[in-house]
Amino acid sequence: MAIITISRGSYSKGKEVAEKVADRLGYQCLSRDVILEASDLYHIPEIKLVKAIHDAPSVLDRLSGGKRAYIAYYKSALTRLVRTDNIVYHGLAGHLLLKGVPHVLKVRIIADLADRVRNEMKQENISEQEARSMILKDDQERRKWTLSLYGADPWDSALYDLVIHVQKFTISNAVDFVCEAAGLEQFRTTGEAHRKMNDLALASRVKAALVGFNPDVAVTCEYGNVLVFVANPERTTRKLREKVKSLGDEIRGVNNIEVHSGTALPPDVI
Amino acid sequence: MEPNGLNVEMILVMAMIFLAVFLFIVEWVRVDVVAILMMVSLPLLHLVTPKEAFIGLSSNAVVSIIAVIIIGAGLDKTGLINKLVGPIVRLAGKSPSRIIVAISLAIAVISSFMQNIGAAALFLPAIQRISKAMKIPISQLLMPIGYSAILGGTITLVGSSPLILLNDLLVPFKLQPFGLFDVTPIGLGLVVSGILCFVFFGRFILPRGSREGDPAEQGKNGEETDLLQEIGDVYELRTPDDFTHYREPVRVEDLRRRYLVNIVATTEPPDYKVSSPPLDAVIRSGVDLLVFGRDKDVRRLAESEEMILKEGLEVFKEDAADHASGTVEAVVRPRSSIAGKTLKQINLRDRFQVTPLAIYREGEIYRAQIGDLVLRVGDAIVLHGTWKRLQLLHGEGSLLFTTPVDVEIMRPEKATFAGLWLATALVMILVFKIQLSVCLMTGALGMVITRVLSIDEAYQSVDWRTIFLLAGLIPLGIATEKTGTAAWIAHTVLNAIGTVKPIVLLTIIGVLTSAFTLVISNVGATVLLVPLVVNMAVAADADPRMAALVVGLAASNSFILPTHQVNAFYMGPGRYRSTDFLKAGGLISIIFIPVMIGMIYLVFGV
């Protein structure tokens, strides 16, 4: 009755934990499916999407807003998929992308660098030095990515409900812990939690539809009332307004949709 | 007269002109602040003497404008103009075209003696009433009438700031000043051509009401249905006795945010009623709620929050009756203290116990989280409250009510005095040929002495932005002339365009002024262009007075963009978009030039 996000570094056994948790609880396990869904929904080549959401934004990306667009598409696909509940998601930044949803259990699986290097050497058949430098580079890239987009360091344990170090604990222990936590009252899908998830999915969908018009567009949704924020009133183009109007009719669940400009952004904006 | 070569002073003056124009366009600071910047920096750069820098404040033009504003406020206070509107409408009958013609002519005449924006504000409530009563979409009425208010400013020499300024700008050239009614034939020609434009082409250039659909249907249903559908109606709900038992506290603002439903009143056990409860008030069990919202929203609220939606009004039947409370549309006045603030900041709910329901702006309707929107002049706020509370808010004066609430502290018994003093000022100008500012100030003083308005009300009515905009730009004009910059630019331009006939030159000046007035305000355009065109006319053997007159008149050719105060003000109530102004204003602006030049040719024989 929950959504479990498992954040992990490469070769940290997080994937195994995720799959086993899903297996035991009878949940659906999601990772690459989100990329396929996003690529399908927004007609973007998968390879482009993978690159865009994996690498940290370059200076050019920051200016053009291209990266933000891909992340909006990804988030829209993710929220659409997890809306159904009973999900274990072990892909990109679930704990950040699903922020504000009460019944999300945010887990991070970590492992010692030496273990990770060993795992990679075994799987990829490469030298220790190569494996080490690849893992360090990957960690660095992840850190830059979340810092630049969300201002959060993935190694900050305060971002998670549960951090499990797979060393003394086995994978099986980790699965036990996660399953037990997921059964707690706090992670039960209440009516309110379900509504918040739906609102987030709606807001994400609207943002993905508008990000092509204005990469700086920000969206909130509460009880189906969608607000689209544009910082600069002059940039509130007629095209954007018309698109927003048509979205109100196209997207089911939108009760009211408006464009506001020149106002301060609320904290829960996406 | 051959101009000297370009020197350092001239380059400095041109740099200052560019700076002023640049700041006017980018609007980093307000236009009047730009003017004050000029007032201060020109003497610092030794381009004008300190005395010349501030001479604008004591100029004939500035004093005249102060007096005109006070006289306008006096006329407003006595309700003299409202009295005129009734008979005019009766005269016009039921045809929309005739109503447009009648009101447009009336506003043009009135605006020729007071500030255009003042006349526009004065007429708005009356126009809204006519629109509702006659079932004519408001968008069909406001634009022609607003344009007539602007055009009416060209009927007399005190009608608009550029014309008031004109004689002052002619002084350095020792040219004969214009009389009060010298421009009247031209102004009337412009007004008539503007009105005819709307009568003949109105259906092509005016937006077809605020909703799409059959225009005939539109006319039948009018704005009222629109408003009802979009904003909703009053409903009565009851919370169950266990409402607070099994849920987080629900506050008034939660319901507004979640369902866009406004709580207008609640009952309070044992038998109290609270109107416009504070936003953070918790909704209790077993109470009745009077709410305002769209049908679908109220139903959604009742279903989600498990409240009982009553068939009709029961507990609040008396309170919600038409004689006790209602919904009004209130427009943010020009120079209103609430412009630039949010509804949260001005807190109408707590201060006046009225509930803001929605805001109309540029054809868009805002209903969600309107408390955070920064209000602009011309925004129309839809408010619900008891008439008593609405009257209090009306009395405060920052909002212009388009629905009458009949409470403004009017002094109708002073109407005779107000009329008398206006007449006195006119007689002094026309018969005794005394200087404009002295005559108008006499009229203003007379109104204060006969208590048409108090001296404090007179001070408050003065728009200091206009005053400093005028006074601050005058030294820039002086510097342009004194340093020979105006003559240099004039000759350079004339050399570029070659020898032209005077009438062609005037046309070019007209087009140039029209373009300038759109970006740097009518006053800015006049101050900068008059010295220039007088020099050009002298060099090209045309009449310099006529060249200056063309600038003064064409500075009112400001219809294409909603930058003119009147256009900006009517945008909200008329539900206009910028493109609406482009379409209708484009035509009027194009017709303006040939009519103006033609009338000048006929009257002054250029």
Asked if A255 has any chain B CB less than 8 Å from its own CB, the reply is yes
Contacts of B296 in chain A (CB under 8 A): 255
Provide, as residue numbers in chain B, all residues whose Cβ is less than 8 Å from the Cβ of A248.
none
CATH classification at residue A241: 3.30.70.2210
Same-domain check for residues A43 and A91: yes
Is there a single domain that holds both residue A131 and residue A205?
Answer: no
Mean pLDDT in chain A? 83
Q: Rounded mean pLDDT of A131-159?
A: 84
**Within a domain: A268:** no
Q: Are residue A110 and residue A24 in the same domain, yes or no?
A: yes
Cis, bond preceding B172 (omega within 30 deg of 0): no
Question: Burial of A73 by CB count in 10 Å (0-12 exposed, 13-18 middle, 19+ buried)?
Answer: buried
> Which residues in chain B land under pLDDT 50?
1-2, 210-225, 228, 406-408
- Pair A240, A153 in one domain: no
Tokens representing B349 are 């709910």
Topology at the third CATH level for domain B240-306:
Alpha-Beta Plaits (3.30.70)
Interface check for A263 against chain B (CB to CB < 8 A): the answer is yes
Whether residue A263 and residue B373 make contact (CB cut-off 8 A), yes or no, is yes
- Amino acid found at B273: K
Q: What is the fold, at CATH topology level, of the domain defined by B325-401? A: Alpha-Beta Plaits (3.30.70)
Structural domain spans, chain B = 240-306, 325-401
Same domain, A64 and A176: yes
Shared domain for A11 and A56, answered yes or no, is yes
Domains B240-306 and B325-401 share a fold: yes
Residue A267 lies in a domain: no
Say if residue A181 is in the same domain as residue A98: yes
Residue to substitute from B300, B306, B374, interface A, most A β-carbons within 10 A: B374
Judgement on whether residues A203 and A183 belong to the same structural domain of the protein:
no
Chosen domain end from A172, A187, A202? A187
C-alpha distance from A159 to closest chain B C-alpha (Å): 26
A260 in reach of chain B (CB within 8 A): yes
Shortest distance, CA B133 to any CA of chain A (angstroms): 31
Same domain, A68 and A116: yes
Do A129 and A245 belong together in one domain?
no
At residue B23, the pLDDT reads 83
Residue A21 lies in a domain: yes
Q: Is residue A269 part of a domain?
A: no
Whether residue A173 is contained in a domain is answered as: yes
A180 domain residue, yes or no:
yes
Q: Look at B364 and A227 and tell me if their CB atoms are within 8 Å.
A: no
At residue B214, the pLDDT reads 35
Q: Is residue A266 part of a domain?
A: no
Nearest to B259 among A223, A258, A259 (CB): A223
Residue pLDDT, tens place only, A64-82: 566 778 888 888 988 988 8
With a CB-CB cutoff of 8 Å, which residues 161-180 of chain B face chain A?
A: none
Q: What value does the mean pLDDT take over residues A8-27?
A: 85
Specify the number of domains making up chain A: 2
Tell me if A165 is assigned to some domain: yes
Task: Note whether A64 contacts B: Cβ–Cβ < 8 A.
Answer: no
Give me the pLDDT at residue A259, please: 87
User: How many CA atoms, within 13 angstroms, populate the side-chain half-sphere of residue B266?
Assistant: 19
Shared domain for A69 and A153, answered yes or no, is yes
* Residues 6+ positions from A198 with CB-CB distance below 8 Å: A83, A253
Model pLDDT for residues B532-558, shown as the tens digit of each residue: 899 888 888 888 999 999 999 999 888
| Cα B448 from chain centroid (whole Å) | 25
Residues A117 and A183 grouped into a single domain = yes
pTM of the model: 0.67
Give the pLDDT score at B520: 73
Q: Which residues of A touch B374 (CB under 8 A)?
A: 262-263
Return d(Cα A200, Cα A194) in angstroms, integer. 10
Q: Do B374 and A263 touch (CB under 8 A)?
A: yes
**Quick check: A253 contacting B, CB < 8 Å?**
no
Interval A81-127: pLDDT, tens? 888 888 888 877 888 888 888 888 999 988 888 888 888 888 888 88
Interface test with A, best of B27, B253, B258, B379 (most A CBs within 10 A): B258
Residue B368 in contact with partner chain A when CB distance is under 8 A:
yes
User: Could you write out the three-class secondary structure of B373-418?
Assistant: CECCCCCEEEEEEEHHHHHHHHHHCCEEECCCCCCCCCCHHHHHHH
Domain coverage including residue A21: 3-187
